[in-house]
Amino acid sequence: MLSKEMEEALNKQINAELYSAYLYLAMAAYFESINLSGFANWMTIQTQEELTHAKKFYDFVYERGGRVVLGAIDAPPKSWDSPLAAFEGAYEHECKVSAMINDLVNLALKEKDHATNNFLQWFVSEQVEEEASADAVVQKLKLIGDHGNGIFMLDRELGQRVFHAPGTAGE
């Protein structure tokens, strides 16, 4: 059984994961609007991952006898100054989500809620991957600078990303 404080914190995280999906979908729309379909694909895949994360939290709350209460989702930005600015924003957002997951782990430890702590460890590992993935694109974009050919090559590379649901071979 979840404590009231943990239930509220997990509900807040569900909302944060849904906002993340909304943010990445907005970034996908931005990239589509500037004809970078590979960049848009990367963000669309990221959107799918975030929706999967939200559903994992949703299911866990019910498995532990809690109740999910969905809140309003803030509107994300509509555009960015450059592909680099968008990916820097994605990286910063993933760092923020990592801090939120760490706060949940700290609460689980404080409450001696071992089941929730165990559940959250998947997200701790996932966030290492999420940060590294976004940062890798940031670093490539910094190397490319304003060279259009490099942007188009990276666009082609990012277009190859595919979605792998958690627990599948591609994860």
pLDDT for residue 147: 84
Does residue 84 lie in a domain region? yes
Does residue 169 lie in a domain region? no
pLDDT digits (tens, 9 = 90+) for 59-117: 999 999 999 999 999 999 999 999 999 999 999 999 999 999 999 999 999 999 999 99
Least confident span in 100-104, 118-122, 132-136, 148-152: 148-152
Does residue 125 lie in a domain region? yes
Does residue 168 lie in a domain region? no
Q: 163: helix, coil or strand? A: coil
**Domain assignment of residue 113, given as a range:** 4-71+80-158
Does residue 60 lie in a domain region? yes
φ/ψ bin of 170: left (φ > 0), alpha (ψ from -120 to 50), beta (otherwise): alpha
pLDDT digits (tens, 9 = 90+) for 26-51: 999 999 999 999 999 999 999 999 99
User: The CATH number of the domain where 34 resides is what?
Assistant: 1.20.1260.10
Q: Is the pLDDT of residue 123 over 80?
A: yes
Q: Provide the pLDDT confidence category of residue 168 given band limits of 50, 70 and 90.
A: low
pLDDT for residue 141: 97
CA distance 78 to 90: 14
Tell me the mean pLDDT in the region 142-154: 92
Instruction: Provide, rounded to the nearest whole percent, the portion of the chain with pLDDT above 70.
Output: 96
Q: Is the pLDDT of residue 24 over 60?
A: yes
Does residue 171 lie in a domain region? no
DSSP letters spanning 60-129:
HHHHTT--------PPPPS--SSHHHHHHHHHHHHHHHHHHHHHHHHHHHHTT-HHHHHHHHHHHHHHHH
Does residue 167 lie in a domain region? no
pLDDT for residue 170: 52
Domain count for the chain, please give it: 1
Does residue 91 lie in a domain region? yes
pLDDT for residue 167: 58
